[in-house]
Amino acid sequence: MYNSKRSNVSPHTDHRLLDFEDLTPMYRHYINIKEEYISSLLLYRVGDFFECFFQDAVTVSKEVGTFLTSKEAGKKIGRIALTGFPHHSLDRYAKLLIDRGYSIAICDQVEDSLEALSQGRMVERRVTKLLTPGTLMDDELLVPENSNFLVALTIRDNLWGLAYADISTGEFCTTQGVDLSNLKSELLRLQPAEVIIPANDIDSGRMIRPGEESSLLIDAFPDCFCYSLRTKTTFDLNTAREKLLNAFKVSSLEGMGCHDLPLAISAAGGLLKYIEDTQIDQQLTLQLPKNYNLNDFLIIDYQTRRNLEITKTIKNSIFKGSLLSTIQKPKTSMGARDLQRWLIEPLLSIERITERQDTVEELVEDITLRHDLKKLLASIHDLERISTKVTSETANARHLSCLANSLLKLKDLSKLAHRGKSFYFKALQNTPKELEKLGIYIRSHLIESLPVKLKEGGIIKDGVNAELDNMRSQIEDDREWLSNLEATERQKTGIASLKVSYSKSFGFYISLPRSKASQAPAYFIRRQTLTNEERFITPELKEREVRILNAQKNLKKLEYKVFTELRSKVAKKGYAVYQIAKSIAAIDILLSFAITAVEKNYCRPQILEDQLLKINNGRHPVVEELLPPGSFVPNSVSLKSSSKVLEEPNLIILTGPNSSGKSCYLRQIGVIQLLAQAGSFVPATSAQIGIADRIFTRVGAVDDLATGQSTFMVEMNETANILNHATEKSLILLDEVGRGTSTFDGLSIAWAIAEYLSEEIGGKTIFATHYHELNELASKVSRVANFQTIVEEKPDSLIFLHQIRPGGAKKSYGIEVAKLAGLPSSVTTRAKKIMEKVSQSSRIILKLNELEDN
Ligand SMILES: Nc1ncnc2c1ncn2[C@@H]1O[C@H](COP(=O)(O)OP(=O)(O)OP(=O)(O)O)[C@@H](O)[C@H]1O
Ligand SMILES: [Mg+2]
């Protein structure tokens, strides 16, 4: 269909340059709609295809590789750019375009095209769906394990308000904060699919796609997200407040916890308005918003999230090799989504962490409980997303059936929960009876094998609705009469070759061979004569036929009505379903923690208020998994905050050869701290872990090409961030900070940073470095200790033992490692000579000894 017709004139790509009146009616209609959805790509249904015209055709073809061609759009106009794809591929192309940060408006045919054609008019089309990256509901467009956040923001000077929602699950939260750098961190933490920001009217409606440069974005907005600009009036405080009160049918915002946070309210109002504007044929309901505080969780900034590779790897941004990938995958999609949340929102309350640990421990100790729970959870569907579909009236019969099947498992779940004593089991011991009843009620309505389409019938069981049953038996009678007709008429007429058949053009008829046509009884009405046969109808045959057709139509309508009534009834229990979904997600995650703990031999860490970090034989879960079993070398650590106490250091200078395991050690400590505060067991033989308020990690000298800043500038920006925000309760992991500049500058900066962290801040710090001179710091600052990764030196090789031992390394073995890496021996021999000379004449150590004590 989309073959290019060669033409010397390039097709039009800008409709604004054309005379509207010269276009054919369809293109005039197209343009009217396009003007209304100017910031979206418009997919316009033409027959069996979705087509894009003008600039949209060029964009779509470039982004998804469909063939760009042209088509005449009016005699005086000539050809315009065109691309398209078959209508049944809509989901696939929609997903590709949305993943690239576009919003798309789907303009569909909303009536039978044959009917329109027979009446000589254009098929009626209208936009039936507007899809934007943050407002997706369709299963085909969403990843079951990932949340899909839509964020709305308002900013006043240094203050900001934020609201976020996942409309596929109904989750809705608000917060308000100070300092735009905190806003940036929060955005990076949430990784929203789309961010709505207020703009002047002139920019309203625009979308800025990920990576696109725009003067409309301020520094606090990371350019890796998709931004939708909306007029400021949609964020007006009073309108927003009214909107929230109306949407949740409450008289005050107090219950939401944001009543005295004007910017959070404005943001929430802007978010609701956006959802309203983008949901065309469906009404959405979100859960009552919850207000949260940035300090409610262990803060893991974006760099730390990246460096600890929590949900994806640094290198390829993939799941495999991330911390998440080492945890047993939860059985339910809601568990999988919430697990990601738990890892980026570790807790600060010992009590809440202990609650999680208690459940993990119960599961670790009881293999049959683990096994039974696993089996049960595997049969529970995505209640969260299904219940949102039910309330937004987009659920089909299969969704309701899955919901019912899952609700019917609640009884077993509650029985099983009685086998545990901890908080999370208790939460499931009394699953609401009303939900079980609801499950039975739905099941009693729906047929076992259900269609996807809702208006074609085949959904509701017999015995549910008397009218429905009547209609069915009437149809049944008529059908039976029809199927007996052939035999009856043969008998009546004595013509054995009489047949009853059906044709699309005039329905049921009686057929006689031409030779027998003269024997047709008087009540046979002749309809058609063919070469070999004669076709007849009878008044009764037609009457029955019309009755069947009408009844079938009515039956479908009635089934649909019964179904929507059922769906509305189920929708009323939406909140109860959401709540149980959350409890199931939690137990599912804790089961994953338990299975991981058993399979990988993790221990329950003791969580302390005291600022101690003591890990015995800790391991890095990812590196351990990559190596052959048993070859990972466990290492311990002991650190304590505060600049006063003396028994444990608060800062460790870690030196050692290249490739000896320093970075791995650093990361494993960060990961263990995080897992512990998420409520998981940890890869160690035992651990005592004080609650940290933040984990900072900084890996020296890594290019950040995206921001266009120099390597060293980035390194120092981030280090400044650490020094400005770290507290005595923070865990700070510095990997070769200072290496991005000359040795002298780097060493001096590293020295001063370490001194400041140990003496002024007092948080728990590990500083891995190749500046062996930093080992001198231990003799000057009492809370600093030196540790090293050790290697065994053989005449022509090095053996990496990957063990951490007290003391500072004397050598970096950089040249030996270079040799192992395959540098030509002439180069490494020469390097050795140079090093001997350089080290003889270096006086850094001497000078450091002369540094005054303060
Ligand atoms: N404890 C361990 N047990 C076994 N193998 C380990 C251990 N720690 C690290 N390794 C292995 O050693 C490799 C190098 O480790 P790592 O990157 O931590 O070294 P490094 O000391 O930071 O090196 P560099 O100074 O060059 O940055 C890892 O990829 C891993 O395969
Ligand atoms: Mg390293």
For ligand 1, atom 5: residue with the closest CA: 632
Q: Where are the alpha helices (DSSP H) in 726-824?
A: 743-756, 777-780, 814-820
Whole-number Å distance between alpha carbons of 241 and 452: 39
In the predicted structure, residue 1 carries a pLDDT above the cut 50: no
The tens digit of pLDDT for each residue in 433-476 reads: 999 999 999 999 999 888 878 787 888 999 989 999 999 999 89
**753 Cα: distance to centroid of ligand 2 (angstroms):** 19
Give the CATH class of 15-131.
Answer: alpha beta
Amino acid at 470: N
Neighbours of 716 (CB within 10 A): 19
Least confident of 31-35, 616-620, 710-714, 801-805: 710-714
Give the pair of three-digit tokens for residue 549: 């057709």
Give 201-258 as a 3 state SS string: CCCCCCEECCCCCCCCCCCCCCCCCCEEEEEHHHHCHHHHHHHHHHHCCCCCCHHHCC
How many angstroms does the Cα of residue 822 sit away from the middle of ligand 1?
18
Ligand 1 pocket at CB < 6 A: 623, 627, 631-633, 635, 656, 658-664, 789, 802
% of the chain residues with pLDDT over 90: 60
- What does CATH list as the number for 602-813? 3.40.50.300
Among all bound ligands, the one having the nearest atom to the CA of 626 is 1
As given in the structure block, the two tokens for residue 489 are 């008429």
CA of residue 714 to ligand 1 center, whole Å: 24
Quote the CA–CA distance of 650 and 764 in Å, as a whole number: 5
* Rounded Cα gap, residues 240 and 218, in angstroms: 24
Ligand 1, atom 1, lies closest to the CA of: 633
Determine the Cα–Cα distance for residues 384 and 386; give it in Å rounded to an integer: 6
Question: What pLDDT is stored for residue 745 in this prediction?
Answer: 84
> For residue 822, what pLDDT is reported?
82
Residue 114 is predicted with a pLDDT of 80
Angstrom distance (rounded) from CA 37 to CA 24: 20
Residues around ion ligand 2, judged by CB within 5 A, are 662-663
Distance CA 230, CA 59 (A): 23
Q: What is the pLDDT of residues 621-630, one digit of tens each?
A: 999 999 999 9
CATH class of 466-559: mainly alpha
Q: Return the higher-pLDDT residue of 826 and 125.
A: 125
Is-contact 380 406, C-beta < 8 A? Answer: yes
H-state helical runs in 366-498: 367-378, 383-391, 397-407, 410-417, 423-429, 433-445, 466-493
Is residue 643's pLDDT more than 80?
no
Nearest to 397 by CA among 388, 407, 389: 389
Which of the ligands is closest to the CA of residue 655? 1
CA distance 164 to 175: 9
DSSP strand pairing (606-608 vs 686-690): parallel
Position 335 scores a pLDDT of: 97
Q: Is 659 known to sit in a ligand binding site?
A: yes
On whether 330 is known to bind a ligand per the annotation, the reply is no
Residue 425 has pLDDT above 80, yes or no: yes
Pocket test for ligand 1, best of 659, 662, 672, 771 (most atoms within 8 A of CB): 659
Residue 4 pLDDT class (50, 70, 90 cuts): very low
657 is in an annotated binding site: yes
Hunting for tokens 């021996």 — which residue is that?
825
Cβ(205)–Cβ(229) below 8 Å: yes
Taking the centre of ligand 1 as the mean of its atom positions, its distance from the CA of residue 207, in whole angstroms, is 44
pLDDT digits (tens, 9 = 90+) for 593-639: 999 999 999 999 999 998 899 999 999 999 999 999 999 999 999 99
Rg of the chain taking only CA atoms, in angstroms: 35
> Taking residues 352-373, what's their average pLDDT?
97
Measured between its terminal Cα atoms, the distance across the chain in Å is 80
Q: What is the pLDDT of residue 701?
A: 53
What's the rounded mean pLDDT across residues 559-571?
Answer: 93
For ligand 1, atom 28: residue with the closest CA: 661
Q: What is the mean pLDDT of residues 511-533?
A: 89
For residue range 753-768, what is the model confidence (pLDDT) as tens digits?
999 999 999 999 999 9
Ligand 1 center to 658 CA (angstroms): 8
Q: Annotation-wise, does 661 bind a ligand?
A: yes
- Residue 339, judged by CB atoms within 10 A of its CB (0-12, 13-18, 19+), counts as buried
807 marked among binding-site residues: no
Kindly report the average pLDDT of the chain as a whole number: 90
* 511 annotated ligand binder: no
Tokens, residue 564: 């929507």
Residues 189-224 pLDDT 10s: 999 999 999 999 888 888 999 988 888 898 889 988
pLDDT digits (tens, 9 = 90+) for 222-263: 988 999 999 999 999 999 999 999 999 998 898 898 989 999
pLDDT of residue 689: 97
Higher pLDDT, residue 780 or 426: 426
* Dist. CA 789 → ligand 1 center (Å): 9
- 143-295, what's its fold? Nucleotidyltransferase; domain 5 (3.30.420)
Domain ranges of the chain: 15-131, 143-295, 466-559, 602-813
